[in-house]
Structure 1
Amino acid sequence: MSLNYNDVLNVLAVANESERNGKQQEAESQLKSWEIQPGYHYILQDIYLNTELPLQMRWLAIICFKNGIEKYWRASRQNSIKKEEKEQIKSRLFQLLSEKNNQLTIQNAHSVARIVRFDFPGDWPTLFDEISNNLEDFVFNKNDLIATNNLLIILNQIIKAVAVVRIGRARHAMQSKAPILVPVLFKLYSKFFQIWTSSLDLTIMEICYLCLKNLRRIIPEGFEQPHKNHDIVEFLKVSVSHLQGLVMEHEKYSSDLLERYVKSYSKLYVNLINSNPTSFILLPCSQDIMTTFLTLLEQKAEVIYESTEDNDFWEVLAIKGLIILKRLMTYIYKKGAITLKQRNDREEVTHAITKLSKEFFTPQVVQHLCDLIINWYLRLRPSDLEGWLLEPEEWCNEELSTSWEYQVRPCAENFYQDLIRFFKDELSDFILNKISNGISNSMDILVKDATLCTFQLSATSISNNVNFGRLLSEVFIPEGLKNDSPENKIIKRRICLIINEWVPVDCSRESRVDIYKLLINFLQPDNKVNDKVVKLTSIQTLRNVVQDWDFNKQDFQPFLKEFVSLSLNLLSQMSFTESKLYVLDTLATLIEKCNPLIDYQTLMSILSIIPGHWDETNVNNEEAILRASLLRILKNLVVALNENSPETHVITLPLVKNCVSSNSDLYTLLSEDGCDLWLSILQYLPMNQAASASANELMSLFDLVHYCLVNSTEILPTILSIVRSYALINPNLFNENAGLEMLRTLSGYISSMRDDSFAIFIALMDILFLAKADDEAFVTNLINSGLFSEMVNFVLDENQSIVTANKILLILSRLAYKSSEMFLKMLSHLSIDTNKFFDIWLRYYNNNGNPRNKKINIMALLAIAAYGVPLNFSPLPAKFSEILKLSFMFLEEVQENSDGFCSLYSQNLVYEDIDDYQYLDQDIKPHGEKIRYQSLLESNDPLYKVNLQEFVKQVSLKLKQDLSDSDFASLMSMNDQYTSECLQKLA
């Protein structure tokens, strides 16, 4: 049944009612069901175009139309809009350019842009020609300002939509049309700019701004070499003149719209530099642009410094100026190689670098910039001091998390770092003189702070010319220990920031000890100069110092207990989540990096604060971050307590259950950290605690693993490690239904696992087969889950790498050795080619370079042969001679002792990560999991107990007993001379 205009109109009217009711929901459902009906979107356009209808009705129609275009315009979509309806819709897209409601026009512009994104250039090659012609007609023939305004709004959205396309012809086609469009936009811009600057007509000013906005988008996106286009060169020359004029007359024209003009010019220049810096530099007006922004930075420095407004106009301009100069400095430093694809030839790049270096970034200008930045832009502003005084905690958090591209002082700091790095030769002595002469007692505290800031930001650039240890002991520590004035807190904070930057660059062990003493002083609660800002900055500095590569925990040990105590004290004073996070993250780092030096009582004092902080937080994104930090501390506490980790179970086990349960509100936000904690609890459970009450509670959590295994595949290595830990603690869990479901899920993952997950899976199965290969209940679960079948098929899939297939064969070898009869029965029940399976096994064996794994394979093949050859299980009789030969060749390689041991077997364990890097530290005791794994190997792994030479002899004798003389003679006749001689030596 075809849709009717009135039916759609009536349903829209019901859907548009202000009160929510059942009829309105039915109307919305009806509109949704009509989306796939032919003619529906054409009718929606009809309703929007009807200016006699109520505004709200038309608004709903254009919203539905826009959303439908997004979903159904592309021809490849299911239920896509038919071609005939598309053509009808496109013929009316520019029909209502006289629309006076700006919001409706914007929604229509979004709709048009979506269509253009799909149809240009293939189904709409003349789009930009049509727009250019219409713009000229509306302005110069009809003087239709509303139509001009609306068409410019639509054009802006079109350019935005096409500019983001990176695959296909659309962007390239737009670039071919840009030379047609730019002259028209420039002509319109010039006409309207002249009018509004004379009359201050806001309508004309808005239209002119739209011209500028379109030019700002089309020039960087539409031209690969803008400096070679005459119209662009002219427009940019005019734009600089207009920018200078508007800035000079800012007070006269003061308005949000004028400020948008100025910001638009600056965005245009930044985008030009980002898209093609060479082309920007080679523009005749580039020098004027750079000089204009440098002048702004100079003339408005005091205004910006004194400003207390957010998003202040002059501050925004200063940031843009600094970004422009920063990008150009980077261009010089990297010699033009700052984009993945440099479109300009080498001569132009060289010319651009020469022009920048000799005509703008002269040594005098560079030093002048440095002075300007230090004197005005690095200093703490009055608004900073006010924020520090009134809201110290909030101000400090903002300082530690501010993005440099949005605030002028962080932007200036970032700019200065580039300045000193890129112009090291011109500035090193200049800066060092400033630092040496600039920290006298008579200096203003803010100037001193700014001067010290330059030392902080110059760490990587001047480290070869400075003895940081001497400056630390002779200058910074004495300055930091002064408490004669409340203003000293400014210098204390700055010294912390200096330490942050310099410790990774140049800091001796002796200097680090001095830093620990200084930070302890800064964290003292009874010192009034050490306010929250100083303490929070100190705690952040402490974390960075402890995390540094050259950190030595033995040097830190004398201060460890006091730092923990001071951190806990500071945590109790903080009220903001961000502040607490800084302290908690520092505590977590201390526990991790100083393990096992923190004493039991100190660890327990940290543990005691967890429940209180957990309970005081709510379940939302912000507080979840705090809870995640608490979980990380708990994980590190479990690791540090090691054999005493059950002391944490009363707190940790309920939290783990709460975080990983499928019905928990915390699952989405905290399951990853909850699983990390869960894993550490399992790994550090002592051997003698495996049957305790808390361990039983830990075993009860096993039922929750399957949900995580299915729903948290992004942390699959962690989940698999949890499963592996349970296999070591209580392998009987895998005899039950929960174990069956887990094995079934793993069977679906095996072919697509990443390498990290696959390695853990191999270790898990190796452990299970060592412990349970002869357990009928487990083997039944293995078969019923489909996992055994998937492992065999994995080996048979020659698209899999030989390395990964060998790992599967390794764990199948465990089962084959321990239960040869069961293994062959399981193989025979699969619909596979057993000849191919054993061919692959023997062929892949030769690609196995690990002696440990080779012996496991050989033992399995021999055990299978001992059982399968008498049964004439194909192809074992034919392959036995090859198995024997490989056995003797292996024995020559490894030289086992009489017990069957070789030192090579102690390397390259299947459980790869059991020897974590932390065990390189002899002070750290092995955790429960390592002990359990070693115990399993010692008690269950035949690798260490079976003398392979004796085993070969036993297999040969068994076959001789089980076969008739003629069959045995026939079997032995297949051996080559080498194998026969080796067998004779065994006799």
Structure 2
Amino acid sequence: MDLNYDNLLGILFLANKSERTQEQNSAEEQLKQWESYPGFHYFLQEVYLKTDLPLQVRWLAIICFKNGVDKHWRSTRSNAISRQEKEKIKLRLFDLTSERNNQLTIQNAYATARIARFDFPIDWPELFEFFTNKLEETVFRTNDLISTNNILLILNQVIKSISMVRIGRARHAMQAKAPIIVPTLVKLYSHFFPIWASNLDLGMMEVCYLCLKVLRRIIPEGFENPHKNQDLKEFFGLTVQHLQGLILEHDKYSSDLLERYVKCYSKLYLNLINNNPTSFVLLPSSKDILTSYTSLLAQRSEDVYNSTDENNFWEVLALKGLLILKKIVTYIYKKGAVTLRQNTDKNEIYNAINMLSTQFFTPEVIQELCDLVITWYLRLRPSDIEGWLLEPEEWCNEDLSSSWEYQIRPCAEVFFQDLITYFKDILSDFVLNKISEGMTSCETLETVLSKDSLLCAFQLFAISLADRVEFDRFLVENLIPEALNTQLEENKIIRRRICLIISEWVLVKCSRESRVSVFKLLYTFLQPNQPANDKIVKLTAVQTLRIVLDDWDFNKSDFEPFLKDIVVLLLSAVSEMDLTESKLYVFSTLSVLISRCNPIVDHQTLRGILAIIPDYWKSITNQNETILQNSLLRLLKNVVIALNENSIDTYDIALPLIISSSTERAAQYALLSEDGYELWLAVVQYYPNTDSSKNPDILSLFSNLEYGIANSTEILSTLLAILRSYALIMPSLLNSNEGYNIFKLLASYLPKMRDDSFSIFVSTMDILFLSQTNDQRFMQVLIESGLLEAMFQFTMDLNQSIVAANKIYLILSRLAYESPESMISILQHFFKDPSRFMNQWLEYYNSYGNPRHKKTNLLAFMSLMLYAIPRKIEFFISTFGQVAKKSFYFLEEVNETDEGSCSVYNVDTLYEEIDEYCYMDPTIKPHGEKIRYANLLDAKDPTNKRNFQKVLEQTLSELRPFLSSLVSSCDQYTTEKLQSTISM
């Protein structure tokens, strides 16, 4: 069908039918085809502009137009809209500013904003001048309120779109144009506000609000120094007057639009502080703004405290006030160094900080703010108590994971921490005295809440005032007695707070003896059937226990007497919880406990934890709870690690879960595979070395590894670690078709492999080259897959680092040492001039600092020379002098035993991370993989078994008939050393 206006209109009518028919499907398909046709978007705009057409047809046209602009406006896009069509479209963007349907206008605003984002300033330089003239016309010449409203809607979206630009000219061009448009907007705002304020004209009130909304966006983004602009200084003075007036009139004339005004002022101030705090402070009205919010926090504290809706007007306003004050307090403390993009004059910063410190944040004001926050804003509110009673798990989970920028109490806590940190000298004695006076007995809920607020203050200044408080004494004399007082049911509030205090202070200042007291206390809090230990107390205790266990100073021997009983209590707690998040907290704590207490967790306790996993796994019936399966996989992994040589006991549970989470047929592969692979890795690493028959189920899993390596490259390091484990358990598995496919994938990955994956790849190949070099099938798979060639090419790629290339040379050294004939044959196959490879290898050798790696290379060189020189292979004969010199230098660096070992050889193997966990805790037994690797090195690695002096002497002895011709390539040092060695 040809594209023209009439045909398009007919298709839009068909596509807009209410009943789904084949005709409608065909119409939608036709619209998709026309997207790439010249003139399509112009005709769509024409349909939208026809006010006599049905609203639904116009709506469909503007939606298609907006989406098409997004996809096809850029000239670099396929089927891009032509320049001629673009110009026609832009000429008509404002032809219907009198549109009365707000939703159509908003969609047109979105489309216009996208066009402005693409075309301004290069192809639409007069954009802001156009808006200025249009606003002047509709307000002061035609008095068209609807058109003014619609133009402001469009302008708001345009500024929003351009201000998001971080690269390119658009943002800077907008800043250059801001002085043109802003005076007009300020004039409109000043014109409309007194009119609607006197007669409550809602239409004019909405238009005035849009002026304010646009100004809220463009002032912070469009001006480097608003405090130097007279119009803006007057405007900000006007806004604070209006803010104060609207707050005073709120109870009398409360409305959603009026509240939006007040919130918009808050956003304006906050945006300016975020962008340029110095400029905000230097505004003549800044002190009035800060005073207004400080007064509001004080005067409306009770309203905020008693509010039950977090969108309550006073609560939202108080939240903005706290955020503004927090930003300003941080600005003072950091001496103005709170933004990177501002190059504000140092004198201005000094003047701003001096003004704040002397005229606003006086010691009296700081103490009043601190007292206000403790009294009202740190305190649990009636809505909190209601949530505690009605939905305890949900309330606790939200409290533990809340975002402080969006909730009043968490925001107050962060603000209080800033106050106590930045004004420590002013507040430390004040707060400590307040806490000391408030630690009296509690007889009512009111006194419990007051004490909880004071203890919250104590919790929050852990880092700032740790040197002023004897926490160990306070714990024993105050906190523990408070926690054990069960005379009042509301004491559970104090128990929760004490857990939170311990969570903060244990990381800062807590002795070993006090930690034992903490273990006893948490054990008490986890006890069942105690009214004071409700779900919230238990969940908070569980979180605190995780933090204590995970702390650097945790001592597992001190925790051992409590270990079994606390595990039982945790298993009991998880069965009490209903919500997924609550169970996650318990499982996470169990995982940390097993990890930190390895190896003192006894077999029976681990079996008890293991027993709960299948039932919980089966109980998860929907995708929303998949996160719980992830947690179970992590918990099971830690059980496998803790069982070590007894990990075979987990196979009945672990192997089916590996299959159902990390194989191609796993239904939830995308969500579970990462943790499934981690579990798989633990199973094969801790596979007992004593199992000589090899578990067939473990071996059969190997066939699933190819899918992961092909499809989950973001966790390639984990997958390669699994491959490495199989290389130690049964390297012949890699001679299979799956091994061939894996090697082929690795050949393509190698040039751009990430460092963590590359390190594991290198250690894997080192293991295979040590154990499999003489296996013809292995070498065949390695060559046919292209991996061996990729490794050779990697060493010659000058874009790769020398360190990385040297690691590949170490692997190739294994091949050269064990089978020099194969090495030379491969070199001659891959390179027209093998001498380039040898010369670069010798050059890179100079970058080794590790004696073990040097010896590995030199043993390979000896083996190659011994094979190549008698056969007169020229490119080895020419390098003899370099090899000999490096060998003599090496002997001067090391002091080997007769057997060839040396203390410096015992570290820095290519499988470096295998000993990391033992360095952390030498009480942990080596796992099966470490034993297998040690056995492999002992059986196959010549580094610790062959004395290099003897190897060199033997090599020179066998090459004696050829030395006369070889000496010519040697320098004086090497010649003398050769003569000395041969004569021995």
Structure 1 distance, partners of 2:30, 2:116, is 28
Secondary structure of the residue that 1:456 maps to in structure 2? helix
Offset at residue 898 of structure 1 (A): 2.0
TM-score of the superposed pair, with normalisation by structure 2: 0.98
Question: How many residues end up aligned between the 2 structures?
Answer: 979
Aligned residue type for 2:676: G
For residue 971 of structure 1, what is the aligned residue in structure 2? Answer: 966
Query: Structure 1: which 5+ residue stretches go unaligned?
Result: none
Whether the 8 Å contact between 2:310 and 2:316 is mirrored in structure 1 is no
Structure 2 distance, partners of 1:96, 1:920, is 72
Residues 272-299 of structure 1: CA distance to partner in whole angstroms, max 9, x if unpaired? 1101000001111111111111111111
Give the counterpart of 1:638 among 637, 640, 644.
640
Residue pairs, 1:166-565, within 5 angstroms: 166-441=166-441, 444-565=447-568
Aligned residue type for 1:604: R
For residue 651 of structure 1, what is the aligned residue in structure 2? Answer: 653
Offset at residue 554 of structure 1 (A): 1.1
For residue 857 of structure 1, what is the aligned residue in structure 2? Answer: 857
Residue pairs, 1:877-888, within 5 angstroms: 877-888=877-888
Offset at residue 810 of structure 1 (A): 0.5
For residue 894 of structure 2, what is the aligned residue in structure 1? Answer: 894
Structure 2 distance, partners of 1:23, 1:912, is 67
Aligned residue type for 2:668: L
For residue 596 of structure 2, what is the aligned residue in structure 1? Answer: 593
Structure 1 distance, partners of 2:692, 2:916, is 22
Offset at residue 944 of structure 1 (A): 2.4
Whether the 8 Å contact between 2:121 and 2:169 is mirrored in structure 1 is yes
Identity across matched positions, percent:
58
Residue pairs, 1:415-814, within 5 angstroms: 415-441=415-441, 444-620=447-623, 622-689=624-691, 691-692=693-694, 695-814=695-814
Inter-CA distance 873–618: structure 2 relative to 1 (3 Å threshold): farther
Structure 1 distance, partners of 2:786, 2:808, is 15
Offset at residue 412 of structure 1 (A): 1.0
Structure 2 distance, partners of 1:873, 1:57, is 83
Structure 1 distance, partners of 2:736, 2:507, is 53
Aligned residue type for 2:145: L
Secondary structure of the residue that 1:944 maps to in structure 2? coil
Whether the 8 Å contact between 2:918 and 2:926 is mirrored in structure 1 is no
Aligned residue type for 2:809: L
Offset at residue 880 of structure 1 (A): 1.8
Structure 2 distance, partners of 1:743, 1:141, is 77
Structure 2 distance, partners of 1:136, 1:832, is 78
For residue 925 of structure 2, what is the aligned residue in structure 1? Answer: 925
Whether the 8 Å contact between 2:459 and 2:501 is mirrored in structure 1 is yes
Structure 2 distance, partners of 1:972, 1:425, is 79
Residue pairs, 1:35-74, within 5 angstroms: 35-74=35-74
Offset at residue 828 of structure 1 (A): 1.3
Residue pairs, 1:824-973, within 5 angstroms: 824-959=824-959, 969-973=964-968
Structure 2 distance, partners of 1:25, 1:811, is 61
Moved more, 342-351 or 974-983: 974-983
Residues 122-152 of structure 1: CA distance to partner in whole angstroms, max 9, x if unpaired? 1111110111111010011111111111100
Residues 520-553 of structure 1: CA distance to partner in whole angstroms, max 9, x if unpaired? 1111102111111111111111111111111111
Structure 1 distance, partners of 2:885, 2:466, is 64
Structure 1 distance, partners of 2:832, 2:332, is 65
Inter-CA distance 221–976: structure 2 relative to 1 (3 Å threshold): closer
Inter-CA distance 500–579: structure 2 relative to 1 (3 Å threshold): same
Whether the 8 Å contact between 1:634 and 1:677 is mirrored in structure 2 is yes
Inter-CA distance 834–21: structure 2 relative to 1 (3 Å threshold): farther
Structure 2 distance, partners of 1:974, 1:228, is 78
For residue 119 of structure 1, what is the aligned residue in structure 2? Answer: 119
Offset at residue 62 of structure 1 (A): 1.1
Aligned residue type for 2:653: I
Secondary structure of the residue that 1:8 maps to in structure 2? helix
Whether the 8 Å contact between 1:919 and 1:925 is mirrored in structure 2 is no
Offset at residue 442 of structure 1 (A): 5.2
Whether the 8 Å contact between 1:834 and 1:874 is mirrored in structure 2 is no
Offset at residue 2 of structure 1 (A): 6.2
Offset at residue 619 of structure 1 (A): 4.1
Secondary structure of the residue that 1:872 maps to in structure 2? coil
Whether the 8 Å contact between 2:728 and 2:929 is mirrored in structure 1 is yes
Secondary structure of the residue that 2:464 maps to in structure 1? helix
Whether the 8 Å contact between 2:114 and 2:161 is mirrored in structure 1 is yes
Query: Structure 2: which 5+ residue stretches go unaligned?
Result: none
Structure 2 distance, partners of 1:350, 1:816, is 69
Whether the 8 Å contact between 1:855 and 1:943 is mirrored in structure 2 is yes
Offset at residue 403 of structure 1 (A): 1.0
Moved more, 938-947 or 598-607: 938-947
Structure 1 distance, partners of 2:217, 2:754, is 43
Offset at residue 831 of structure 1 (A): 4.0
Residues 207-246 of structure 1: CA distance to partner in whole angstroms, max 9, x if unpaired? 1111110011111111010111111111111111111111
Whether the 8 Å contact between 1:619 and 1:666 is mirrored in structure 2 is no
Secondary structure of the residue that 2:430 maps to in structure 1? helix
Structure 1 distance, partners of 2:693, 2:20, is 59
Secondary structure of the residue that 1:688 maps to in structure 2? coil
Structure 1 distance, partners of 2:955, 2:468, is 74
Offset at residue 78 of structure 1 (A): 2.5
Aligned residue type for 2:415: F
TM-score of the superposed pair, with normalisation by structure 1: 0.97
Residues 242-267 of structure 1: CA distance to partner in whole angstroms, max 9, x if unpaired? 11111111123211111111110100
Residues 3-58 of structure 1: CA distance to partner in whole angstroms, max 9, x if unpaired? 22222222222322233344433333322222222111111111111112221111
Structure 1 distance, partners of 2:515, 2:489, is 27
For residue 108 of structure 1, what is the aligned residue in structure 2? Answer: 108
Structure 1 distance, partners of 2:790, 2:412, is 60
Secondary structure of the residue that 2:943 maps to in structure 1? helix
Whether the 8 Å contact between 1:186 and 1:235 is mirrored in structure 2 is yes
Residues 904-923 of structure 1: CA distance to partner in whole angstroms, max 9, x if unpaired? 21111110101113344232
Secondary structure of the residue that 2:795 maps to in structure 1? helix
Offset at residue 656 of structure 1 (A): 0.9
Moved more, 72-81 or 271-280: 72-81
Structure 1 distance, partners of 2:442, 2:67, is 67
Residues 386-431 of structure 1: CA distance to partner in whole angstroms, max 9, x if unpaired? 1111111111111111111122111111111111111111110001
Residues 858-878 of structure 1: CA distance to partner in whole angstroms, max 9, x if unpaired? 111121122222333341111
Whether the 8 Å contact between 1:513 and 1:556 is mirrored in structure 2 is yes
Residues 934-969 of structure 1: CA distance to partner in whole angstroms, max 9, x if unpaired? 000011112222232332333334445xxxx5x653
Aligned residue type for 2:603: Y
Give the alignment's Cα RMSD to 1 decimal.
1.5
Whether the 8 Å contact between 1:225 and 1:279 is mirrored in structure 2 is yes
Whether the 8 Å contact between 1:224 and 1:343 is mirrored in structure 2 is no
Inter-CA distance 163–832: structure 2 relative to 1 (3 Å threshold): farther
Aligned residue type for 1:487: E
